[in-house]
Amino acid sequence: MTSHIPAISFVKASACGNDFLVIDGSSASGNLADLTRRLCNRHQGVGADGVEWLFPDQSVDVHARLFNADGSEAEISGNGTRCVAAYLCAQTRKEKIVIRTGAGLKTCVLTSRSETRYEFETDMGEPEVRGQVSVVTPSREVKAISVSMGNPHLDIFVDDFSPQWQSEAAEIARHSGFPQGVNIEFIKIRDRNNIEVRFFERGVGETQSSGTGSSAAAVASIFAGHADSPMQVHATGGTQSVRWEKQVFLRGPAQLVASGEFFLPEM
């Protein structure tokens, strides 16, 4: 029997394979970073790329704090924010969800729904394009475009994806020039309106998709003159649409996968 064991309720959601646990923050006691690491462990926990901890906010629908799988807190996840919107949409039936994140307010507008699958267009805000940078690693020099979507990104154009791209990304991410870490995108241009991207994210490593990463990759591709808005961003977990006016608008799905309880026995 498990009725006497403390537990925390969760909903699991996935946005193009980028998976998150959505949890009421008031149900958590103790250290959120430690609890997130336990929850996200794919062998001894529920398994996820991160946890979106939800807290009440009188001026918007919810305040979401994102913790990565390694327990580090990040400003925002575009896909995680969309998963939060799907969770709230299922509960309230609202079609416009405003979420406070560490990168400011994000508005998610429902564009379609089918059972537990939702699609939203999210106003990701105005990007900050910091231009081309050079990163010297022990093995090579890398030319990249630095973009902020409220969190830091390095966008690197490639003719094709190296079989060792994950280790190359990890080496770049360890560079001393990024003391707070950095999200890395390798971008392969298909044509003016289609790019293919691989993601290596702070606190997680390789992910099947990324909302802020898709946005940053699209912005970098347009900035570099390789592509035009709007465009399709193709990743291993699925495809998202990005248009860059002054603001960046990201459209993609979020699937509610499961709900349950994570038991909290004494460690």
Residue 1: pLDDT band with limits 50, 70, 90: very low
pLDDT of the residue at 2: 59
Average pLDDT on 46-71 reads 98
Residues 89-108 have pLDDT tens digits of 999 999 999 999 999 999 99
pLDDT, residue 41, reads 97
Residue 40, classified by CB atoms within 10 Å of its CB into exposed (0-12), middle (13-18) or buried (19+), is: buried
Which residues, other chains included, contact 80 with Cβ-Cβ below 8 Å and sequence gap of 6+? Answer: 15, 18, 20, 49, 50, 52, 64, 66, 211
Give pLDDT, residue 239.
98
| Distance of alpha carbon 110 from alpha carbon 34, whole angstroms | 33
What span, in angstroms and rounded, lies between the C-alpha atoms of 126 and 251?
16
Alpha-carbon distance of 180 to 178, in angstroms, equals 5
Name the average pLDDT for the chain.
Answer: 96
Q: Is the pLDDT of residue 46 over 60?
A: yes
pLDDT recorded at residue 267: 53
Indicate left, alpha or beta for 220 from its phi (over 0: left) and psi (-120 to 50: alpha): alpha
How far CA 230 is from CA of 81, 96, 157, 248, in Å, comes to 21, 22, 19, 10
Q: What is the pLDDT of residues 105-121, one digit of tens each?
A: 999 999 999 999 999 99
Each residue's pLDDT tens digit, 150-196: 999 999 999 999 999 999 999 999 999 999 999 999 999 999 999 99
Any idea how long the chain is?
267
Q: Cα(first)–Cα(last) distance of the chain, in Å?
A: 19
Of 2-6, 46-50, 79-83, 244-248, the one with minimum mean pLDDT is 2-6
Residues β-bridged to residue 157: 187
pLDDT single digits (tens) 125-143: 999 999 999 999 988 999 9
Encode pLDDT of 245-261 as tens digits: 999 999 999 999 999 99
Q: Which residues pair with 152 in a beta bridge?
A: 148
Q: Exposure string (b/e) for 136-156, b if CB count within 10 Å is 16 or more?
A: eeeeeebebbbbbbbbbbbbb
pLDDT digits (tens, 9 = 90+) for 188-245: 999 999 999 999 999 999 999 999 999 999 999 999 999 999 999 999 999 999 999 9
pLDDT of 16 > 80? The answer is yes
Q: Domains of the chain, with CATH numbers?
A: 7-125+253-263 (3.10.310.10), 128-245 (3.10.310.10)
> pLDDT higher for 27 or 218?
218
Which amino acid, 151? N
DSSP 8-state symbol, 262: E
